Structure 1
C-alpha cells in the first residue's frame, strides 16, 4: 500500500509539474509596443538661415557650436519602460483631445468674440475655426490654431502674391484670412484666455488683461488694422502694391540699390536701420519700421557708433511693434496717449524720444501674436524649437518680410542673408568686417533657405550678387 501511495503521489507530482510548464510556455509572450516617433513638418529642414539686424541674446543662451538640433527618438526596449511611456502618451493624447474639444466648442458658437466685432470700420470676422487640425503628437506649445477674419483686400492686383501663392509649394500653409495686425476689437476675455497659453511674441502669456485692454483699446482706427492706411492717397490708380523690404545685411554695402528701393510704393525697415551716409545703397525712405522695444533699445546702444540714433522719422513712417513683452504694450500705450511710460524698463520715458513729435494714432500698429506664431509654425518651425521653445522665434526681419508677403502685391527683398553670406560683413554699416553670429533665439539658416525657396517660387524678388 505504501508503494502504491508513493506511485500515486509521484504521478500526481509529475502531472502537476507538466501542467505548470505548459501554462508558463503559453503565457510567455514577448511584450512589445509599436511606438510611432513624433513627426514634425519642418518646412525647410534642420540646417537652414536669414539676416536682419537682430540683436542677439547673451552668450549664455548660445546653442552648441553647430546650431543644429536633432529631435532624438528613443527606442524603448525594457518592458516596464515601454509600458510607462505608453501610459504617459495615452494621458497626453487624452488631455490634448479635451483641449481641442474646448476650442471646437468656442468656434462653433461665437469664439468668444462679442458683438462689437461687427463694425463698419473694420473687417467682419468669421467665427474662429481650426485652420489646421492639431496633431495629437504635437506639443501643446505649438498651438497651430489661429483667429480667422475677413480682411478686405486693398487692391485687385491680377498677378499679386495672393493670387499666385496657391500655385506654389506654399499654397497649403498660406492663410489669407489670418489677422496680421491686432487692434481694439481683438481683446476680449475669451481671446485673452486662449492666447495666454503662449508666451512671448506668440501669445499674451505674461501680459495681464488690464494692460492689454488699456493698450489695444486705443488702437481703434481703421489705420490700425490696415497695413497700408494711406494707399488711396498714394496709389496713383495702381492695382498692385509694390513693397521693398530692407534688411541690414552686409550684402547691401556698395550695392547702389538706393534709388531702386525708394522707387517702391512702400519701404520696410527694421532695428538698427542706419540711413544717413548710405542712401545710395539702401535708399532714404521708410514707410514701415518693424521692431520690438528690446531690439530698438539694443540697436540704439549697439549701433550708435555707426550713426543709429533711433527709428526713422518722417510723415509717411508707420511704426509696427512686434510685441515680445509687456514693455511693448506699455510703450505703445504711452505713445498713442501722449504720456510717459508708466512702469517697466522704460518707466517715465517720453515716447517722442523714439518716434518724434508726431504721435498720431494712425502711425502705430502692432503685429497679432497669432500671426507671429503662425509664421513660426508654418514657415520657420526649427528643430531648435524643442529645446529653446521659450526664447525661439523668427527674427524681427523675418516677421517683417513675411508680413509684407501677406499684405503686399509684389515684394522685393534687400539685405537678407544669401548663401554667400560669408563674403559680407554682418551689417552694411559695419566699419570693420564682422562675421555673422548665430544664436539660439533664431534659426537664421532656416530663414536663409526660406528666402531662397520664396524667390524660386516667384513670390519675392531677393537681391543677390550675381
Structure 2
C-alpha cells in the first residue's frame, strides 16, 4: 500500500517538473521581447533604413548629375576627354558655345544620319560621366581615339537595334556550290541607253548572253546585313563570296556607318549616252608602249594595285585615275596623284579586311594584322576619301568567278574584278596591261627584268584569265591591248607559240614568206618592240 503511494507521488512529481520546464522555455524563448529577437528586429530596422538611405542617395546623385549646370558639364567633359581649357578658339566663350563646340567634335565622328543630333551629346555625356564605371583617365590633350572608343560603344548599341532578328525557326545553312544560289539584284539598276551597251552586245553574242546579268548588285549596302533574309543568303559562303563565320555586328557597323555611301553606281558615271572606259593592269607589256595619251582620252580610267603614273610612266600608262580598286595587301592609294576626284572600290577577301574597312571609315590607322602565314604586319593608313569609298558585293565576286572564270582557282584577281565592273558600268571597255606574258617583265614600272613565277600567282589561275581576255576580245566585247600582231597571226594561222618555236629551231622559210626576219623576232622577244 505504501509502495503504491510512493510511485504515484513520483509520477506526479515528474509531471510537475515537465510542466514547469515547458512554462520556463516559453518564458525564455517564446517572448518577442527576449534579447535574441530584439537584436534581429533591430538589425532588420537598421538594414531597412540603410537601404532607404542608399536609394535616396543614389537618386540624389543621379538627380545632381542630370541637373549639372553648363559650366560643370564642361569641366567634367574636359577632365574625362582631356580637353584643354581653351579647346574652343576663344576660351572666354559662353558655356553654351563651348558645348556646341563639343557637339561638333562628337558629330565629326558619329555624324547625324542614324543618331539625332539633339540626342548625341546627351548620350555621350551619360556614357562618359554619369556611369562611373566607364569614366576614362584624364589626359593632357584631346585624342580622337578616346572619342571614337566611347562613341563606338553607343554606335554598337544603336546598330544592334537596326539588325532584323531571325524568325523563331530560321532555315539552316546548307552546303552549296558557288553557282547554286541566285545572285542578289540591284533594285536601283538603270539600263544604259547606248545603242552599243553590253545589254545590246549580249543580244548578239550567245556566249555573253548565257553569262551576263545586267542588274547584279555590285556594291554592298546596309540592307545586305540589316535584313535577315538577305544576310542569311550571304551566310552560305565565306569571304570573299559571303559572310559565313563573320561578325554580323562588325559588318553592320561598316555598312551603317554615316561615312559609307552605299548608293548604286548604275547610270551615274557620265551624262554621255555612251561611256568609254579604260582598265589599266600592271603588266609589263605596257612598258615602252607609249599608250598614255590614248588611255587618258577615255571617259573613265580604272586602275588596280600599284597604279604608278608619275614621271615618264605617264607616257605609257596615262595620268588620269577615275576608279581605284584595292584590298589591304594591294593598297597603294598613297601613290595616286589626285585622290580628291577618285572613287575607291574595296574588296574584302578575309575577316581582317572587314576590320580594316571599319578603320578606314573611322579615319584611324588600320588594325594590326596577325596570321599564322606571316609575321604581324601593320598596314599603312590608306589615302582614301571615305565619302568616295564603295565595298564590292560578295555576290558580284561570286558572279564574276562562276560565270566568267568557271570557278577555277581560289578567287579571281582584282584585275579581273575591275574588268567586269567596267563591263557593268560602261558601254565600251578597252583593257591594257592584262594577260601575263613571259616575254615581258612582270610590271610596267620594274626597273629591271622581273620574271613570272607560279608562286606569285598561287591563288589565281592566270592562264585561265589570259584565255578569257582573248575570248572577250574575239567576241568584240572588249579590246585587249597586246604588243603582238593578233590579226597577222590569225590570218596566217600562226600562234605566238609558233613564233617562239620558229625562233628556237631556225625555221626561216615561213618568216621569209611574210617578209619578217628572225632578227625582228629576236628584238621583239628581248626588247619588247611592237611587232606590227
Scaled to the shorter chain, the TM-score interval is: 0.5 to 0.7
Query: How many Å separate the matches in 1 of 2:438 and 2:231?
Result: 43
Give 1:180's aligned residue: 218
Computed over aligned residues only, the root mean square deviation of the Cα atoms, in angstroms, reads 3.0
CA distance change for structure 1 residues 192 and 289 in 2, over 3 Å: closer, same or farther?
A: same
Instruction: Name 1:456's counterpart in structure 2.
Output: 474
Q: Deviations over 1:402-430 (max 9, x none)?
A: 11111211111000016xx1221111111
> 1:366, 1:222 → 2: CA distance?
10
2:445 and 2:180 mapped to 1: Cα distance?
38
TM-score w.r.t. length of structure 1: 0.59
Q: Residues 440 and 221 from structure 1, CA distance in 2 versus in 1: closer, same or farther, beyond 3 angstroms?
A: closer
Q: Which residue of 414, 423, 428 corresponds with 2:432?
A: 414
**Is 1:250–2:278 an aligned residue pair?**
no
Once the two structures are overlaid, the 10-residue window that deviates more, 402-411 or 220-229, is 220-229
Alignment match of 1:430 (pick from 419, 440, 446): 446
Q: Is the 8 A contact 2:259 2:361 kept in 1?
A: no
Number of the residue aligned with 1:334: 359
- Superposed, which structure 2 residues align to 1:62-461 within 5 Å? 140-153=177-190, 155-168=192-205, 169-187=207-225, 188-218=227-257, 224-226=263-265, 229=268, 231=269, 235=270, 237-277=271-311, 278-296=313-331, 310-311=335-336, 313-341=338-366, 344=369, 353-355=381-383, 359-361=385-387, 363-383=388-408, 385=409, 392-417=410-435, 421-438=437-454, 439-461=457-479
Give the C-alpha shift of residue 464 in structure 1: 1.4
- Matches of 1:156 and 1:375 in 2, distance apart? 24
Larger radius of gyration: 2
Rate the CA distance shift 1:140–1:442 in 2: closer, same or farther, 3 A: same
How many equivalent residue pairs? Answer: 304
Task: Please give the TM-score of this superposition, normalised by the length of structure 2.
Answer: 0.52
Q: In structure 2, do the counterparts of structure 1 residues 155 and 177 end up closer, same or farther at CA, with 3 Å as the change threshold?
A: closer
Q: Distance in 2 between matches of 1:451 and 1:370?
A: 22
Residue 364 of structure 1: CA displacement? 0.2
1:396 Cα deviation after fit:
0.7
Contact 1:144 1:377 in 2 (8 A): no
Contact 1:268 1:287 in 2 (8 A): yes
CA contact (8 A) 1:293 1:328 kept: yes
Structure with the greater relative contact order (CA < 8 A, sep ≥ 6): 1 or 2?
1
Deviation for aligned residue 1:348: 12
**Equivalent residue of 2:344, what SS?**
strand
Provide, for residues 287-315 of structure 1, a one-character-per-residue CA deviation record: whole Å limited to 9, x for no partner: 1111111232xxx6xxxxxxx95455422
State whether residues 183 and 220 of structure 1, in contact with CA within 8 Å, keep that contact through their aligned partners in structure 2.
no
Inter-CA distance 314–295: structure 2 relative to 1 (3 Å threshold)? closer
How far does residue 454 in structure 1 lie from its aligned partner after superposition? 0.7
* 8 Å CA contact retained: 1:415, 1:463: yes
Distance 1:222 1:154, change over 3 A: farther
Cα distance in structure 2, aligned partners of 1:155 and 1:141: 29
C-alpha displacement at 1:143, in angstroms? 3.7
Give the conservation status (yes or no) of the 8 Å contact 2:356–2:366.
yes
CA distance in 2, matches of 1:381, 1:440: 17
Q: Which runs of 5+ in 2 are unaligned?
A: 1-162, 165-173, 486-532
1:245 is paired with a residue whose SS is strand
More helix by percentage = 2
User: Residues 464, 185 of structure 1: CA spacing in aligned structure 2 closer, same or farther, 3 A cutoff?
Assistant: same
Q: Are the counterparts in 2 of residues 212 and 329 from structure 1 also a CA contact under 8 Å?
A: yes
SS at match of 1:238: coil
The structure-2 alpha-carbon separation of the partners of 1:447 and 1:279, relative to structure 1 and needing over 3 Å to count, comes to same
SS in 2 for 1:202: coil
1:201 counterpart SS class = coil
Please state whether the residue corresponding to 1:273 is helix, strand or coil: coil
1:260 CA displacement: 1.0
| SS, match of residue 148 in structure 1 | coil
Once residues 290 and 444 of structure 1 are traced to their aligned partners in structure 2, the CA distance between those partners, rounded to angstroms, is: 19
What residue ranges of structure 1 are gaps of 5+ in the alignment? 1-112, 115-135, 301-307, 386-391
